[in-house]
Each structure stands twice: as structure tokens, then as C-alpha cells.
Structure 1
Amino acid sequence: MTEDPLPDGARQDRLVQMGEPPRTLREALVKSLWIVIWLVFLSSPVQDLVSGEHTTRATVAGGIGLAAFVAVYLTLVFRNMGRATADIRTVALMVLALVALAVVLCLTLGPPWLGLFVYVSVACGTAFPLRVSYWTIPLTAVVMLLVGLHAGEKDARDLILLVVLIGFAMTGVRQLVRTTVELRRARATVAQLAANEERLRLARDLHDLLGHSLSLITLKSELAGRMLPDHPEKAAQQVADIEQVSRQALVDVREAVTGYRRPRLAGELAGAQVALTAAGVVADLPAEPDLHGVSTESESALAWTLREAVTNVVRHSGARRCTVELVRRQTLDGPVLELSVEDDGSGGSGGSTPGNGLTGLTERLEKAAGSLEAGRTRHGFRLVARVPLTDERASVGPADDTVGSGA
């Protein structure tokens, strides 16, 4: 497959993590862009300042007041978005400062400054607790209406719905950000607990495997040491027993390690879902796989195949969509379980010699009496792996491929 022009992990860097501070300059620019979009309601006050309708003193005072309003607003909103309110008094004082600035600027400079109350509503929706936001947002709309009518703005009533809707919408955004942050922390905790549980399981298994063998080796070593001066023949027998026990312990450890290293298809499907989603690829994967009649070696070969195929899709294909199918088929050689991974990316590099990854997968599948097919399709690249089923009664649906071509 062709190489991805982006370095590893670049796809993940494209996504700005919600609820987290920017990690790179790109993420900072993206977040700043969202801030600039929300400042669109400042267009009317800015146009009023540069229109020349006010005196120089009023223009300078209005500019200072607008700068102070924006500074307080940004500090209040983006420091409290998605976080629990630490000091309600400080937040209340900052919101009151926003209200005071909005009222003074509207009454002194005119109705074009009524848009500032939109930001007051946003601040109430993002910084206050929900029970406080539910009554401060309508209160902000009422204050805006009274100020607008006093300033002679007949259309002030039309802004009430805008102020209320934006305020309550921001309460939902705040809850979404907070939930996302909590979910991310929960996932990290679950991963840590799973790792700890795996360590405990490994410790238990090693204890069960080696505890008895090492105790027996220690006992026979002590016994051989005592027999060696007077009964060398019996000591030699004990040494032979020690050798036999140690060899069996070595075999048990190797089998245990092989079991730990052997990948499982269900786990690889879950890992594929996470990897493809993180890379921005739309993933279409099956649910819990039906492995009835599939040997452990065959399952391991399919799991390795899926891991290699998904890795190639994420790193090299540039695909936007990837489809994984796991189907039981009846072929001329008997029932098989077929795994297909198809993407809409650039496909192979065009060379006639398969890469090291495909060669290794072919060898793994051949050891499990399976087969591998890979190549370009009309819209991308497809990889198909098949392993035999030991259950002769494996059911095959009417829509399945009866010749097992997989094409």
C-alpha cells in the first residue's frame, strides 16, 4: 500500500479534544476560531464606534468599555466551561460586571450595543450552576428588554427569544463538555483497572504454575544435598527428578506465555473500532463474533490478519470508510470462516511483490490450513482471509457465497 503523507498520529492531532486545553498550536488556532465565531454579535458595537457619530471622548470610553467587557466575558466563560463552579461569589461578581458594562454602554451609546446582553446570557448559561442559570437567563432577557425600551429600540422585544435560546443552549453545551471530560476520565480509569486485573491474573497463573514446581525443586535439592555424601545413587535420582520437574515447569510457562500473547478476535474487533474511529475513518464492523467450530489457532490467525489490515488502513490507505465482515461460507473444501477487510483508500502501491506484512499473514494462515487473498478493487483495497471450520454442521445462509470465491 502507498505511504500516508501524514506522519503517524497526525489524524488524531486533527481532532481537538473537547474539554481539554489545546496541546498544539493547531488546536489553539482551532479553539480561537470558535471564539471568533461567537464574537459575531460584537459587529454592531464595533460599527457604531467607527461610524463617527460619537465624540472622541465617547468613542475612546466605548472602546475601553468594550475591551473590558470582552476580557471579563472570555475569562468567565472559557475558564468555567465544563468545570464545576469553584467560587460562586467570584462568578456572580464577574456576571454583575458584565451586566453593568452592558447597561452603561447601551444607555450611553445607543441601541446597537444591545447585542452585549447575548454574551451576558451565555455567561449565565456556562458559568453558573444549572439551578441558577434557569432563572438568571430569563432575568437577563428582561433587563435587556427594559434597557432597550428605555434607549428607544422598538425591536428589543425581538431579541428576547434570541437571548433566552442562546443562554439555554449554552447550558446544554456545558453539560456536553462536562460529560465528555468525565467519560474520558472514566475510560482512563477502566483501562487502568483492566491492566491491574490482568497483572493480578498473570500473578495468579504464574503462582499456580510455578508454585508447586519450585517448591518440589527446592525440597528435592535439599534432599539430594543430604544424600550426596552417603547415598550418591539416591542423590542422582533426586537430581534427575529435579531435571524432569524443571522441564515440565518450563513447558507450562511457555504454554501460558503463548496463551497470553495469542490475540483474540473479539478483542481485535474492539481495538479496530477504536483505531479507525480515532483516525477519522468510518468503521463498519460486526458485533460479537460467532467462533463456534473455530480452533484457537485459526482464531489467532484471523486476529493477526485483522490487526495488520486495520493498521494498513489507518497508516497508509488514506481511506474514509472501512468495512469488516465475518461470514461463514460453504466451499468445495468444506465450511470456512471468512474475514474480509475492505476500504475505499488508495490501495496497494502497485508492485507485484507482496509486502512483508502480507507474507507473514499468509504464513500464519497456512499454518492454520487457511488462505489469504489481497488486492485492489474498483473503489479501494480488499483483504480476505479464510480458515476452515471444524464443525461440519456449520450453517450457511442462502445469501452466502457457495463457491467461496470472496470476489
Structure 2
Amino acid sequence: MRPVETKSAPDDRNPVLIGQRPHSRRQALRKSMWIGIWLLYLAGPVGELTGHGVTTADRIWGFVGLALFVLAYIILIVRHMWRRPPVSLRYSPLAAMLALSVALTWTLGSSWLVLFIFTSVASAVVLPWQRSRWAIPLITVVLIAVGARYAEIRNYYLFAYALPALGSGFVMIGVQNLVRTSQELRVAREEVARLAANEERLRLARDLHDLLGHSLSLITLKSELAGRMLPDRPEDAAKQVADIEQVSRQALVDVREAVTGYRRPRLAVELAGARAALRTAGIALTADPALEGEPRGLTADTEGALAWALREAVTNVVRHSGARHCELLLTEEWEADDRHYVRLTVNDDGEGPLRGRHDGNGLAGLRERLALADGRLETGQTPGSRGFALRAYVPRTTPAASPEDPIPGSDTSPEPVTGPPVNGPV
């Protein structure tokens, strides 16, 4: 196993996603930087104030009004980002922004019409879409009315200011709908996971009840019977105690088998975990479609061995490889001795195997686990790349498919599909 690299905490390294509130100061700073970038559009009014021919009174009024406008805009957006105040508390900053837009444009010049665009976008962000769809056209109408005062821009101000105000507002409504949909999907996924875990607990409880209910009732009955036989009939009591021992041992075997069945890893489950881990680590994934379904020709033990191999390989890719892409393949292979194997291949484009280093505990344990399933493990360099390749082999235990009828995941199966690129560490 390659040496461990130190990764930063997920919350600090991951960029905060759309619709998610920042969970740390660093994420809040990143979001604030994105908000601040759009303030560069105020360069026109600022440049006009700093130019020649502007009176001192206009310069003071312009900077004070612009500062108040930016303050109202930031307070509105930041409060919405962190706390989501009631809708009634969002109208005052919006009204102040609209009033300042009118006053500054009316007194200082047509370049201040850009303030209406900020007001339109802010209303789309903080108001429910049922209200913002009316507020945005209203703001645009006010912009057109104020802009008509300046004859020098009447030929183009509809295209330079009115259409951007209207279009940006409605585009932001669409973004907000996307944000709400993302939030609802996130909540739905959490609810599905919670229900699945609850259903699994109920199923385990039912299985344990079915396994132990009869055995424990029989043990209780025989214990009472043995107690009544003592001390007059010790031989019969001894038989009852022997039966109790036999029943308890069988109950213990049943419980162990049930728990082992729940703990046995499966390829489809491990693939889902691999997708999540690689997505968090910012590593793109190409996964063979054969890994999605039930693998044919594998017993529970051999599938479990491959699942452990997939888990260990993906863990190594995330922690040690520094890779940007990972490929998972499930194929069939005939050996020279006519033995038929199923092969799991995990390739990455990272740093590759380190020379002069032996396997770590993880790969050594994986070799032993595959050997118990009559399989083997091979590691080396990814073909055509300097990355690391892991190949796990387990024997196929059902009759092989004919060349005319290949199984999914063989060399003649369709090309693997590419998973979405992602970011952040595990």
C-alpha cells in the first residue's frame, strides 16, 4: 500500500454547492467572493464619480448613495444566505434599493441605470417566485421610465439596461427553482436512506425473532422441566440439560449465519460507495455496466472477495494515488490451465506503484482473502499510464458463456459509461 497523504477536512476543501448554506468561515468567504465579483459592474458609476466635471456635492451624494445601495444589497443577500428571514422583512431592503436606483439615476446620469439590474436580481433571489415574477417586470418598467429622461441613450438603453434587468431577473428565478429542487432532492435522499436503514433494522429484528423465538421458548420449557426433575430424577434432568445445550448451540449457529449474511459485502453496494468516495475526492469514475447488476457465475463468498477488493482498491485511490480518473472493469478470462476466472480491474492515472515497497496491510490482507476464495491478486502499473493497477481474480463457478453469448462485463460488452466528475476529499 502506498504511503498515506494528508488531506484537508472535507468542509474546508469542498466548494459549497448551490442551495447549501456555508458550514465554515472558508465556505462563507468563497460565497461572499462570488457575490462581490458582480459588484464590478458598478465600475461605470464609480468611474463617472471620479472623473472630471463632477461637482463636489454630486460626488458626495453619489458615493453616499452607492454605499447605501451596496450595503442594502449585501445585507439582503447575506441574510438570505445564512438565515432566510421572513418574506415581510425582505421588502424594506428591496424598496431602499429601488428608491436609491431611481434617485441616483435621476440626479447623476444614465450610467446609474445599472443599479436596476442589481435590484431585479436581488428580488429574484430573496422573494418567492410567485412574487418576484411580478416584481421584476415592475422594476423594468421603472427603469424604462427613468431612462427615458436621457435623450442621448434612448436609441439603445432598452437593450443595454432594460432587457438585461428583465432577463437576469427571470434567469435568476430559474436558478432559484433549481436550488429548491436540489434541496428537495437532498432531503428526499436523506429520507430514503433513513427509511432504508429503518427497514433493514426491522428486517433484522424479524429474522432474529424467527430464529431465536422457537429456540428460546424450547430452552425455557426444558429448563423448567429439568428443574422439576431435580433431585428425584437426575438422569432425566441431565438429558434435558443436554437438549438445552444442543438447542442453544444451534441457535448460536443460526444467529452467526444471519449476521454474516448481513455483513457480506456485495459488488453493487460497494460500487455505490465507490462512486460517493470518488465523487467526494474529486476523481472522475468510469464504471463497467456489468458491476451494476447481479454478477453471474459467482458464489456469495467469491462475490464478497471481489467486493472487498473493490473497497480496498478505491480506498487506495482516494487516499494515496493523487489520481484524477479511475476506471473499474469486470471481465472474464480463461487461464492456460482452462480455469475460468472473473477479473475485477481498478486502474487510476495517479502516481503509480512505488518501487522497492512491499504491500501494506490492506493489500496483504486482500491477498489472503482472495486466496481463501481460490483467487489471486495482481498489482502493477496501469497500461499506457504511470498510474496504479489492481487486478483481483476469483474462479467462475457456473458453466461459461459461449463466445456467441458473452456475459455483461466481458471484453465484447458495450463500452463503460462515465460517471460524473466530482470534488473534495473523503
Q: What is the TM-score when the length of structure 2 is the normalising length?
A: 0.87
Q: Which is further off, 270-279 or 142-151?
A: 142-151
User: Structure 1's 133 and 81: CA in aligned 2 closer, same or farther, altered over 3 A?
Assistant: farther
Question: How much does 1:49 deviate?
Answer: 2.5
Asked if residue 20 in structure 1 is aligned to residue 20 in structure 2, the reply is yes
* Conservation of the 8 A alpha-carbon contact between 1:117 and 1:141: yes
Aligned mates of 2:271, 2:256 — CA distance in 1: 26
Asked if residue 76 in structure 1 is aligned to residue 79 in structure 2, the reply is no
Question: How much does 1:78 deviate?
Answer: 4.2
Unaligned ranges ≥5, structure 1: 403-407
Residue 21 of structure 1 aligns with an amino acid whose one-letter code is R
Aligned mates of 1:83, 1:125 — CA distance in 2: 17
Count of residues in correspondence between the two structures? 401
Aligned mates of 1:362, 1:12 — CA distance in 2: 36
Question: How much does 1:400 deviate?
Answer: 5.4
Asked if residue 59 in structure 1 is aligned to residue 59 in structure 2, the reply is yes
Give the match for residue 386 of structure 1.
Answer: 393
Q: Which is further off, 188-197 or 150-159?
A: 150-159
Question: How much does 1:239 deviate?
Answer: 0.5
Which residue of 283, 290, 295 corresponds with 1:291?
295
Unaligned ranges ≥5, structure 2: 413-426
Pairing 1:6-405 to 2, within 5 Å after superposition: 6-7=6-7, 9-10=9-10, 13-51=13-51, 53-80=53-80, 86-87=86-87, 89-154=88-153, 155-158=156-159, 159-287=161-289, 288-332=292-336, 333-377=338-382, 378-396=385-403, 397=406
Residue 93 of structure 2 aligns with an amino acid whose one-letter code is M
The Cα offsets for residues 73-103 of structure 1, whole Å up to 9 and x where unpaired, read as 223334446998842x433343222111100
* Conservation of the 8 A alpha-carbon contact between 1:11 and 1:278: no
Question: How much does 1:160 deviate?
Answer: 2.0
Aligned mates of 2:398, 2:101 — CA distance in 1: 76
User: Structure 1's 329 and 153: CA in aligned 2 closer, same or farther, altered over 3 A?
Assistant: farther
The DSSP-based 3-state class of the residue aligned with 1:150 is coil
Question: How much does 1:260 deviate?
Answer: 1.6
User: Structure 1's 75 and 153: CA in aligned 2 closer, same or farther, altered over 3 A?
Assistant: farther
Aligned mates of 2:170, 2:115 — CA distance in 1: 16
Q: Which is further off, 266-275 or 348-357?
A: 348-357
Q: Which is further off, 181-190 or 273-282?
A: 181-190
User: Structure 1's 6 and 181: CA in aligned 2 closer, same or farther, altered over 3 A?
Assistant: farther
The Cα offsets for residues 355-378 of structure 1, whole Å up to 9 and x where unpaired, read as 211111111111111111111233
Give the match for residue 422 of structure 2.
Answer: none
Aligned mates of 1:312, 1:7 — CA distance in 2: 13
Give the match for residue 405 of structure 1.
Answer: none
The DSSP-based 3-state class of the residue aligned with 2:377 is strand
* Conservation of the 8 A alpha-carbon contact between 2:79 and 2:85: no
Residue 400 of structure 2 aligns with an amino acid whose one-letter code is R
* Conservation of the 8 A alpha-carbon contact between 2:5 and 2:319: no
The DSSP-based 3-state class of the residue aligned with 1:40 is helix
Q: Which is further off, 258-267 or 370-379?
A: 370-379
The DSSP-based 3-state class of the residue aligned with 1:338 is strand
Residue 166 of structure 2 aligns with an amino acid whose one-letter code is V
The Cα offsets for residues 250-279 of structure 1, whole Å up to 9 and x where unpaired, read as 111111121122111110011111111111
* Conservation of the 8 A alpha-carbon contact between 1:328 and 1:395: no
Higher relative contact order (CA 8 A, sep 6+): 2
Aligned mates of 2:357, 2:125 — CA distance in 1: 59
Residue 378 of structure 2 aligns with an amino acid whose one-letter code is E
Aligned mates of 2:11, 2:306 — CA distance in 1: 26
Q: What is the TM-score when the length of structure 1 is the normalising length?
A: 0.91
User: Structure 1's 354 and 310: CA in aligned 2 closer, same or farther, altered over 3 A?
Assistant: same
Question: How much does 1:24 deviate?
Answer: 2.4
Aligned mates of 2:315, 2:300 — CA distance in 1: 23
* Conservation of the 8 A alpha-carbon contact between 1:328 and 1:335: yes
Residue 259 of structure 1 aligns with an amino acid whose one-letter code is G
User: Structure 1's 75 and 281: CA in aligned 2 closer, same or farther, altered over 3 A?
Assistant: same
User: Structure 1's 289 and 385: CA in aligned 2 closer, same or farther, altered over 3 A?
Assistant: farther
* Conservation of the 8 A alpha-carbon contact between 2:306 and 2:344: yes
Q: Which is further off, 209-218 or 18-27?
A: 18-27
* Conservation of the 8 A alpha-carbon contact between 1:111 and 1:152: no
Residue 394 of structure 2 aligns with an amino acid whose one-letter code is V
Residue 100 of structure 1 aligns with an amino acid whose one-letter code is A
The Cα offsets for residues 215-256 of structure 1, whole Å up to 9 and x where unpaired, read as 111111111111012111110110010111111111111111
User: Structure 1's 394 and 11: CA in aligned 2 closer, same or farther, altered over 3 A?
Assistant: farther
Q: Which is further off, 2-11 or 135-144?
A: 2-11
Residue 347 of structure 2 aligns with an amino acid whose one-letter code is E
Question: How much does 1:193 deviate?
Answer: 1.3
Residue 99 of structure 1 aligns with an amino acid whose one-letter code is L
Question: How much does 1:12 deviate?
Answer: 7.5
Aligned mates of 2:164, 2:235 — CA distance in 1: 99
